[in-house]
Structure 1
Amino acid sequence: MNSRLFACALAFSAAVSSYAQTHVMTVDTKKPGAIVQNTMYGLFFEDINYAADGGLYAEKVKNRSFEFPQSFMGWQTFGKVELKNDGPFERCPHYVMLSDPGHRDRRTGLVNEGYFGIGVIQGEEYRFSVWAKAPKGTAGLNIQLIDPSTMKERQEFASAKLKITSAEWKKYEVVIKSPVTNAKARLRIYLDGKNSVCLEHVSLFPVNTFKNRENGMRRDLAQALADENPGVLRFPGGCIVEGVDLETRYQWKNTIGPVENRPLNQNRWEYTFAHRYFPDYYQSYGLGFFEYFQLSEDIGAEPLPVLNVGMACQFQNPDETAHVAMDALDPYIQDCLDLIEFANGDTTTVWGRKRAEMGHPAPFNLKMIAVGNEQWGEMYFKRLEPFVKAIRAKYPKIKIVGTSGPDSEGKMFEAGWKAMKEQKADLVDEHFYRPEAWFLSHGLRYESYDRKGPKVFAGEYACHGRGKKWNHYETSLYEAAFMTDFERNADVVHITAYAPLFAHVEGWQWRPDLIWYDNVRMFKTVSYYVQQMYASNKGTNVLKLTMGGKPVAGQEGQDGLFASAVADKANGSVIVKVVNTSKTPQDVSLNLAGMNARPDVETITLSSTEMDADNTLDNPERIVPQSGTLRCEQGKKTTIVNDRLQPMTFRIYKVFKSGK
């Protein structure tokens, strides 16, 4: 045999033997370990990528109260339209007066462009509302949904008349049903007749919001959150908690009470990225802290609010003078204490009464609060200390979440953990956006953590492909592999959350993201399904899983395999998660020691041969989990599951105890 032929034979032999090698993973089913927290797999919401206004918050009208610095941004005006600033709402004083244009063939009115258009769906109803008054006691409006680019005879495709019947400010409503689906519609308001009319807080909401709440969430996006089975919802951010400066920080007290009187806030993401700049990115605060708490309750997640620690964004404000002086922190500390009272206080308290007035007399049962977002260094550590002291004194049962800063390791990270231990924080918020190699090489990250210190909140993480920072299957698979370490170390890791959560396809500034949408459609990414597979199969207790006596974490000789196991005491099952990150099939044998099982094993499999692919608006189910079954074998005091796991595949095995 010549040398070339011999080399080929050796390569073939090696390939065959690698396929034939069975990876035996032993699961000790008789010794349930650490409790898997209900909060283990959660959601992190930040108003980036038009996640709130233009996204989850179902309002269709942009700049509905004319409070943008450019008062008519989002609006076209025609005829005789005057802007005034002595309206009925103290913190939103602007409104418009529409008057007779002075000629029978002229028109006066407004057109709102919405957020990248106004999306309406065939057969759905939309509630138009407005605060209005007619100086002469009566006036008329013609409310239209229009398609300005249509080739049909008429631009409007749905309309309604509205009579204004008072010279005093009142709220008026009319419901319009759309006969078509249109992602790029506009809202047009004509003055109907010669009598002037004043308009404030012009709003258009789908009637069919999530849980049918009037100031509610876009149903499909909120349902996607609920469908992930999250254990926690962290809100409202992120960097918007800090603001580019303290003036633009998120202030929760501005976001409660009547929605018409919530002041505008400039979103810090408006001007952060010059290469993806959106000059109309403001926060209406329509989605405020009451709505966040309510949403948490609606989707079955623990609320985790994040409040400002007296610091603006450190990346943009490295100097001490940009932050609140130590002797001026009291109002910020009081905000934290008042928020806890707002969430949990009874109706005899000041802030508990405000919650009740908004329609929720029962407490929201807040258990945790985070102080500061991604801050670091002595500037943060010294400011956090008086917050911890005040919260502990008044609310000793509330868990406090601190942060280790923006790094996943290194001196800054170590200093953050040291300070959080010294201040006795309950959890430490870790953030890590890292490339593929990092996720594959950190499969044993949490094994070395201090078991007696604060618990881990992996509050923002995602695999960012090197040179490919967008959603694609390969990076999602590596996230699945890394998450086996969360599960193995559930005694240390209590909360995790992928980030960011939402992105509008026409308004994104940061990617990858978990859920994408336009004005009428949405799709869940592969990363979403990875999160859902874990959250829906988290079990109740960790089970020890080893291969050759070692954890299965992509270690040398493990052929790119990652694995973890849990027991679910609620249904008597053992759940094993295995990820094959190699480019070849791997034979796997699961030895469930001490378990007599039913013959059928349920499987959930996520797999693709297209590493750069993901789901899209046009193909939302291109890559989704598939259900199946396997047969198991009964050994002596054991159950054995044999399988061949295809390349680049994530599979969950659910084995149920025998009924005998």
Structure 2
Amino acid sequence: MKNNFLTKTIICSLFFSGLYTHAQKTTLVVDASKSITKIQPTMFGLFFEDINFAADGGLYAEMIKNRSFEFDKPLMGWEQPNTKRSSMNKESGSASPVKLSQEKNNSNFCRVEINNDKGYALINEGFRGMGVKKDAQYNLSLKAANHNGGVKKIIFQLIDKDQKVIGETSIIPKSDQWTQYTSQFKASQTEAKAKFKITFEGNGTIDLDMISLFPEDTWKNRKNGLRKDLVQLLYDVKPGFLRFPGGCIVEGRTLSDRYQWKKSIGEVEERKTMMNRWNVEFNHKQTPDYFQSFGLGFFEYFQLSEDIGAEPLPILSCGMACQYNTGELAPMDELDPYIQDALDLIEFANGAVTTNWGKIRSDMGHPKPFNLKYIGVGNEQWGPDYIERFKVFEKAIKAKYPNIIIVSGSGPSPDGEHFDYAMAELKKLNAELVDEHYYKSPQWFRENAGRYDNYDRKGPKIFAGEYAAQSVSGANPNNRNNWECAFSEAAFMTGLERNAEVVQLTSYAPLMAHEDAWQWTPDMIWFNNLESYGSANYYVQKLFSTNKGTDLLNITKDGKPLIGENNLYASAVKDINTKEIIVKVVNTSQSPQEVNLDLKGTKTASKGSIITLASANLNDENTFTDPKKISPKESEYKVTKGAQQVKLPAYSVTVVKLKYN
């Protein structure tokens, strides 16, 4: 058996060696003597939208769902396991939401009536459970008002799926006035689907509100902060920008439920909870418990941008609700509040502490300005109504803040009547940056790698703001983050990079999805309550972003760009900071190939590096059980005299990095 194994190994090696030897060789000439244009630092960035439980239940590390009882059904997320529902027959107690004041954003609290000692329990289910880690510390906080001191103690427990207690603490509610209480405790075991149980000692009535539980170990150890592993994945991409708070979530199904940034700042408990528009958008994945607490609000988005080294890029409503829903329009003579929101946001981000909104930012803990450079007007609106409103926004913003770069939109599709109209009108307006979106098949991405080759170099610059290859079709629940989608995006991205004179920002979308609570696929990062991983698409994005260089170089085959010939795609840059020539080549063929890199106008060091992202099967994916099945492999590359030979595996993305003198 051993000899047979060796024989098979030798035959296999000879077979693949033969494939490389007899494969058609493609010679690529890289002209390193001159820079075509500078690569913008914002070239590859991130697009965050609160879809798929990306904020509450995801990036925002709060573990209690409906902590302030402000969902449309105030006790959604809370169980009363040992209480009969009849008000005529209470076994040991009951909880009911009670209105405090219609004027307050946090207008509900929970009134609990305890009739029997230790008999009544209130249980929070978390966001599809709670991810608890052994020996990790958890921070509890809540507000309580203990009427007549009847309740002597409140016990808080993390319980596993078998009701076993895996963490516990308690507080003594001493006042009949609203009082803040805090405690910390450690978990005794790891559990992905834990719940949070509250029991009481004594008899009487107690009011509860803002019951909150956070892990101690958050990003940058910020109290009540962001989930560390998810931010780390974002940080590792080294993104040039962070677009927020999303796409369609900006617009709202109606204007009344659009995203309003001013309601997302200030004290967390005063931020008004509202329904997330994605909770009933798709019949294939109804999530009626999907709400926005805005614990992750605009201040936190700016702070996150700063943390990961990304330019903040907020998008605001232009007075048009989602045109796929109601398409409700704010009349032109009623646009002032929307425009003022944009002007005030710039002041919030950049204003001195002596300004109204700059002081609010400072009071929240950030006296230094966030140095906002970009602002988006509308998400993917279309038609004359959008252009009419955009003109008014642009005039007002430029009058007060002439240096702010304004992002306009070309609609939801990369072609068609709406797209053609928008682009023609925005060119007339000399728009600075136009947002294009495309959710298309992998084949479309390969076939459109030359999309921007003929764009007017003197026209608007392009923000490829939302794109992702769809393995089945747009908005289809069966879409997968498979390898064909990922390397097809890589092929397209070589075209984005080759056209850096026109394309200045790009981002995959959506960014995140909860394993048990997604609405849209595919997504760049997947997570559950304990773990997270980057998809193959994530690693493609990371490869390009961490190797974007500073200057675009010309790379050609027979004097022309390599766009799909022999199923190959290529782009090249140099990095004046690291003194490297960086060549990216994508092989979308089922067979290995070789390329010769003929570097002109520079001398290279004797060693470099080569990074390969490859998988044999078009349908391969990263998963929770195999999170790095498709991930980059880096090795040393030895430079030879003359042209450099590079072997490209089948279905691969290869980055060659050569030091230059």
**Same-fold call, TM cutoff 0.5:** yes
Which position in structure 1 is the counterpart of 2:136? Answer: 124
Compare 541-550 and 154-163 and name the one that shifted more.
154-163
Which position in structure 2 is the counterpart of 1:271? Answer: 280
1: CA distance, partners of 2:244 / 2:181: 32
1: CA distance, partners of 2:507 / 2:145: 47
2: CA distance, partners of 1:209 / 1:112: 21
1:18 to partner: Cα distance = 9.2
2: CA distance, partners of 1:139 / 1:238: 48
CA deviations over 1:599-640 (Å, ceiling 9, x no partner): 1120110011121111111111111100012222234xxxx2
Q: Given residue 653 of structure 1, which amino acid in structure 2 is its aligned partner?
A: V
1:70 aligns with 2:83: no
Which of 110, 115, 124 lines up with 1:96 in the alignment? 110
Which position in structure 1 is the counterpart of 2:125? Answer: 113
1:593 aligns with 2:607: no
Compare 406-415 and 480-489 and name the one that shifted more.
406-415
Stretches of structure 1 that go unaligned for 5 or more consecutive residues are: 1-11
Which position in structure 1 is the counterpart of 2:205? Answer: 196
Which of 639, 642, 652 lines up with 2:645 in the alignment? 642
1:543 aligns with 2:553: yes
Stretches of structure 2 that go unaligned for 5 or more consecutive residues are: 1-14, 84-92
1:255 to partner: Cα distance = 0.4
2: CA distance, partners of 1:630 / 1:360: 46
1: CA distance, partners of 2:186 / 2:55: 24
Which position in structure 2 is the counterpart of 1:603? Answer: 610
Which position in structure 1 is the counterpart of 2:515? Answer: 505
2: CA distance, partners of 1:98 / 1:266: 25
1:656 to partner: Cα distance = 0.2
CA deviations over 1:35-72 (Å, ceiling 9, x no partner): 10111000000011111111111000111111111110
What are the within-5 Å matches in structure 2 for residues 149-168 of structure 1?
Answer: 149-150=161-162, 155-168=164-177
What are the within-5 Å matches in structure 2 for residues 347-496 of structure 1?
Answer: 347-466=353-472, 469-496=479-506
2: CA distance, partners of 1:540 / 1:581: 27
2: CA distance, partners of 1:458 / 1:156: 49
1:268 to partner: Cα distance = 0.9
What are the within-5 Å matches in structure 2 for residues 1-16 of structure 1?
Answer: none
1:520 to partner: Cα distance = 0.5
Contact 2:20–2:594 (CA under 8 A) maintained in structure 1: no
Which position in structure 2 is the counterpart of 1:30? Answer: 33
Contact 1:61–1:203 (CA under 8 A) maintained in structure 2: yes
Which position in structure 1 is the counterpart of 2:297? Answer: 288
1:212 to partner: Cα distance = 1.2
Contact 1:436–1:466 (CA under 8 A) maintained in structure 2: no
Compare 410-419 and 255-264 and name the one that shifted more.
410-419
Q: Given residue 483 of structure 1, which amino acid in structure 2 is its aligned partner?
A: M
Local SS of the residue matching 2:56:
coil
2: CA distance, partners of 1:38 / 1:16: 39
Local SS of the residue matching 2:279:
coil
Identity %: 47
CA deviations over 1:334-359 (Å, ceiling 9, x no partner): 00000000101111111111111111
1:282 to partner: Cα distance = 0.9
Which of 615, 627, 631 lines up with 1:620 in the alignment? 627
2: CA distance, partners of 1:192 / 1:386: 61
2: CA distance, partners of 1:387 / 1:16: 59
What are the within-5 Å matches in structure 2 for residues 493-572 of structure 1?
Answer: 493-554=503-564, 558-572=565-579
1:491 to partner: Cα distance = 1.2
Compare 344-353 and 164-173 and name the one that shifted more.
164-173
Q: Given residue 194 of structure 1, which amino acid in structure 2 is its aligned partner?
A: N
Local SS of the residue matching 1:229:
coil
RMSD: 1.7
Contact 2:443–2:488 (CA under 8 A) maintained in structure 1: no
1:140 aligns with 2:153: yes
Aligned residues: 629
Contact 1:631–1:641 (CA under 8 A) maintained in structure 2: no
Which position in structure 1 is the counterpart of 2:96? Answer: 82
Change in Cα spacing, 1:38 to 1:16, as seen in structure 2 (3 Å) is: closer
Which position in structure 1 is the counterpart of 2:320? Answer: 311
2: CA distance, partners of 1:95 / 1:108: 18
Which position in structure 1 is the counterpart of 2:11? Answer: none
Which position in structure 2 is the counterpart of 1:179? Answer: 188
Which position in structure 2 is the counterpart of 1:229? Answer: 238
Change in Cα spacing, 1:53 to 1:203, as seen in structure 2 (3 Å) is: same
2: CA distance, partners of 1:424 / 1:237: 25
Local SS of the residue matching 2:196:
strand
Compare 250-259 and 208-217 and name the one that shifted more.
208-217
Contact 1:88–1:169 (CA under 8 A) maintained in structure 2: no
Q: Given residue 543 of structure 1, which amino acid in structure 2 is its aligned partner?
A: L
2: CA distance, partners of 1:82 / 1:414: 55
Which position in structure 2 is the counterpart of 1:52? Answer: 55
Q: Given residue 548 of structure 2, which amino acid in structure 1 is its aligned partner?
A: K
Change in Cα spacing, 1:535 to 1:339, as seen in structure 2 (3 Å) is: same
Task: Give the ranges of 4+ consecutive aligned residues of structure 1 lying more than 4 Å apart after TM superposition.
Answer: 15-18
Local SS of the residue matching 2:623:
coil
Q: Given residue 517 of structure 1, which amino acid in structure 2 is its aligned partner?
A: F
CA deviations over 1:524-548 (Å, ceiling 9, x no partner): 1000000000000000000000011
1:337 aligns with 2:343: yes
1:260 aligns with 2:286: no
